[in-house]
Structure 1
Amino acid sequence: MAFLGLRKWPTPVLRPLWPFFAASGITYFLVAKAQDIGVRSEGFRNDPRNPYAAQIAKEEHH
């Protein structure tokens, strides 16, 4: 008999969902790399709307 909807044994959560956690981490990493490559591309490197323009210019002088 379930008491307040709780079972005798806990329902596994992490074991069946580990592929989704791994895929979300990989997707986050790849999107971040794509953004970094896009921000540093030749067409957007010197764009005044680029929030990383000053940082990229500082790194190029070294």
Structure 2
Amino acid sequence: MAFLGLRKWPTPVLRPMAPFIAASGITFYLVKTMQDFGVRSETYAKDPKNPYAAQIAREAHH
């Protein structure tokens, strides 16, 4: 018998979605890493339009 549309055993959500959750985490990490490499490359590290230029300059002195 369903009580307000709820079943006795809930429909699995996490297990079928696990590969997608893992792939999302890996993709997020890889995109973040590639962005950091791009921002810190020689071409853009000293560009005044780079919002991280001051932080990169501070780290270069250490």
TM-score normalised by L of structure 1: 0.91
Partner Cα distance (2:14, 2:41) in 1: 39
Number of matched residues? 62
Query: Is 1:40 paired with 2:43?
Result: no
Unaligned runs of 5+ in 1: none
Unaligned runs of 5+ in 2: none
The residue aligned with 1:24 is 24
Partner Cα distance (2:5, 2:47) in 1: 57
Partner Cα distance (2:18, 2:11) in 1: 15
The residue aligned with 1:52 is 52
Give 1:48 deviation, angstroms.
0.7
| AA matched with 2:52 | Y
Q: 22-31 vs 2-11, which deviates more?
A: 2-11
Pairwise CA RMSD of aligned residues?
Answer: 0.9
| AA matched with 2:27 | T
Sequence identity percentage: 74
